[in-house]
Amino acid sequence: KAKTNGGDQAVFFSSEMNDVLQDQIRLDRMLKIAIEEREIEIYFQPQISPSTNSLAGLEALARWNHSTEGYISPGKFIPIAESSGQIVALGTLVLDLACQQAAKWNEENFDFKHISVNVSPIQLWQPNFIDVLKNSLNRYNISGENIIIEITESVFVDHCEHRIAKVLAAIRAVGVKVSLDDFGSGYSSLGYLNRLPFDQLKIDRSFVTDIDKDQRKQQVLQGVLGLGNGLGFNIVVEGTETYEEVFVVKGMGCHAIQGFYFARPSHAARIPNMVREITRKKPEITALSA
């Protein structure tokens, strides 16, 4: 039933839509507090080099465990933060936490290779984004090589190539590499690959799911990897969940594989041991395909 007592606008919303909106507004308010109180954490997911069975890097993923609501997934709170604009504060916090952890691991001599940080297009277009990036690097006294910025394909939707090229160049000028996330999931034109200075491609999970059972899917991934390798990108394949998927992907040629088969995203404190386990426990991948 339409709500009629809330002013003129309200009559256009069904009560179900209104409930959804109310819920989003409530969550957004909770998120504001969580950011201010630094209740948002980051977890890390290992990326494994298939040729050497060693660590290639880690992706930082935002985690929100609310005291009364429990775990709230990024799939839920990131879009809300993007529509309210809080993604800028959230992204700034995540970047800062990643740099802090990088400094800590450097000090402990844990060779994490790099930490990849997801940056929303909305944050990327802030005029002070490069300053925010530099501030976090400087605060913890780390060099740009410790960090990779991941940008999703959706960045192409409403921005011109020239502007994207400029911001990519500014990021790389700080020594930070740039990765194109969720590649192949929908938006990017292949032409961009040739013209924009991305360092890394992350192949979307949709290319990988059940790949061991699908010949045509194997052809598609082989083609995408051929193109990416031919153009000189570092390539990460995302979302490998099973031994069979890893086995097929490994045979195709990429620099790293990231997925639940190797490890779920985990708390920083668990990462060094987890990485030791993975690189010790999964040698059969290397052995079988040799």
Residues in contact with ligand C2E, shown as a per-residue x/- string from 58 to 97 under the rule CB under 6 A: ---xx----------xxx--x------------x--x---
Q: 52-91: string of b/e by CB count within 10 Å (b at 16+)?
A: ebebbbbbbbbbbeeeeeeebebeebbebbbebebbbbbb
Query: Half-sphere exposure of 180 toward its Cβ, with a 13 Å CA cutoff?
Result: 28
Per CB under 6 A, 57 contacts ligand C2E = no
Q: Which of residues 152-191 bind ligand C2E (CB under 6 A)?
A: 152, 181-182
**Shortest gap between Cβ of 98 and ligand C2E (angstroms)?**
9
Which position among 96, 150, 153, 245 is part of the footprint of Mg ion (CB under 5 A)?
150
End-to-end CA distance of the chain: 64
- 35 near 92, Cβ under 8 Å? no
Residue whose CB is less far from ligand C2E, 13 or 43: 43
Place of tokens 């909106």: 21
Closest approach, Cβ 35 to ligand C2E, in A, equals 11
Compute the CA torsion angle 109, 98, 256, 249 (nearest 10 deg): 140
153 makes contact with Mg ion (CB under 5 A): no
**Binding residues for ligand C2E, total number by CB under 6 A:** 24
Query: Looking at 83, 213, 260, 270, which residue binds ligand C2E (CB under 6 A)?
Result: 260
Nearest approach in angstroms of CB 67 to Mg ion is 27
For residues 209 and 279, give the distance between their C-alpha atoms in angstroms, rounded to a whole number.
23
Rounded to the nearest whole angstrom, what is the least distance from the CB of residue 210 to Mg ion in the complex? 18
**Residue that is written with structure tokens 């000189």 in the block:** 232
Select 181 or 245, whichever has its Cβ closest to Mg ion: 181
Stretch that binds ligand C2E, among 26-34, 50-58, 223-231, 258-266 (CB under 6 A): 258-266
Part of the chain binding ligand C2E (CB under 6 A), chosen from 133-141, 168-176, 222-230, 238-246: 238-246
Q: Phi and psi at residue 256, in whole multiples of 5°?
A: -155, 155
181 binds Mg ion (CB under 5 A): yes
Nearest to 45 by CA among 206, 238, 217: 238
Residues at the interface with Mg ion (CB under 5 A): 118, 150, 181-182
